[in-house]
Amino acid sequence: MVRKKGLMTATAGEKVFDLCVLVILGILFLCWFFPLLYVLLASVTPYKDVIKGSLVIIPSSVTFTGYSYIFNFTNIFLSFRNTIVITVVGTALSMAVSVLLAFPLSKKELPGRALLLKLLVFTMYFSGGLIPTYMVVKNVGLQNTLWAMIIPGALSVYNMLLIKSYFESMPAALLDAAIIDGCGPARTLIQIVLPLSLPVLMSVMLFYMVGYWNTYYSYVYYCYDKTLRPLQVVLHEIIRKATGEAEAEEYIPTITVQMSAIVFTCIPIICVYPFLQKYFTKGVMLGAIKG
């Protein structure tokens, strides 16, 4: 390392290394960005240009035929509302269950803690199966309700363990000071633990949000009322109908509809992600750093 006037300057090798890193990151960015750009452009490109087989970089003209086809589909906005309700209520319920389970399990003095953790981890690898789960949903009266798409997957053991690990990393002296000041467990959790746990909470919340937003099989397994269909189910029906009509030699912009459906589905999550990105970036490192 060469020093100049008390400041450290990079050597030629370090500059070459930094340049190589920037080039690699630039290539990875293009590999990530180009498919998204292609999907967006293909959704507003005339069908005659898309079926030529070449990549569409600059559309000859802009058309919203695909979006018009989607918005004219029956109950598309009802399904959008159902998905929002499932995502908001499901995420809130999942976060509450995960936090309330993770907090006591982070206490090493909890009786039966080791056994309970082993039972929870066991469920990550083994489940009762689809038919027993269906029977439980049916017998408790959740079948053909929005709750059937929320409650069965309300807890992710993996996400709960992330939160528990973060809680365990907090200084014991901080929690002891709260107890000395007269804080009970609930007040300690709400006023001290949760505000200091925003990175992991926001990261886990994003995981839950994406999972609920992509709800598909829960409706297929447990529901049959068409007014309860989530967005993913309706978009699948739209694409299948467009494909069938295209095979019947009717002028239906199949590829354009598919790309429009992808854009329409991704926009809400993309809008939420920037607000959670800084917390998500911190939370991803929890498993490696916190242990």
Q: Which residue has the tokens 């059937």?
A: 148
Residue closest to 123 by CA, chosen among 161, 174, 79: 161
CA angle, 46 then 49 then 50, to 5°: 90
Q: Which residue has the tokens 């925003």?
A: 198
CB 110 within 8 A of CB 101: no
Q: Which two tokens stand for residue 120?
A: 């929870």
Tell me, what's the pLDDT at 289? 44
CA dist., res. 179 & res. 185, Å (int): 8
Tell me, what's the pLDDT at 230? 92
Q: Measure the CA dihedral 179/183/187/190, to 10°.
A: -50
Q: Which residue has the tokens 């990261």?
A: 203
Tell me, what's the pLDDT at 53? 57
Q: Which two tokens stand for residue 57?
A: 């970089």
Q: Which residue has the tokens 């300690």?
A: 188
CA dist., res. 105 & res. 72, Å (int): 50
Tell me, what's the pLDDT at 249? 46
CA dist., res. 93 & res. 87, Å (int): 10
CA dist., res. 269 & res. 11, Å (int): 43
CB 157 within 8 A of CB 100: no
Tell me, what's the pLDDT at 74? 62
Tell me, what's the pLDDT at 8? 55
Tell me, what's the pLDDT at 127? 82
CA dist., res. 156 & res. 98, Å (int): 8
User: pLDDT digit of tens for each residue in the chain (291 aa)?
Assistant: 444 444 456 687 788 888 999 999 999 988 888 888 888 887 887 766 666 655 566 667 777 877 887 887 767 888 889 999 999 999 999 999 999 999 999 888 889 899 999 999 998 888 888 899 999 999 999 999 999 999 998 999 999 999 999 898 888 888 888 888 888 888 888 888 888 888 889 889 989 998 999 999 999 999 988 889 998 898 888 777 766 655 544 455 577 777 888 888 888 877 877 777 666 555 444 444 444
Amino acid at 245: E
Neighbours of 39 (CB within 10 A): 16
Kindly state the DSSP code that residue 189 receives in the 8-state scheme.
I
Amino acid at 118: K
Distance of CA 287 to the CA centre of its chain: 18
- Domains in the chain: ranges and CATH: 2-64 (no CATH), 67-289 (1.10.3720.10)
Tell me, what's the pLDDT at 285? 47
Would the pTM of this model clear 0.85, i.e. be above it?
A: no
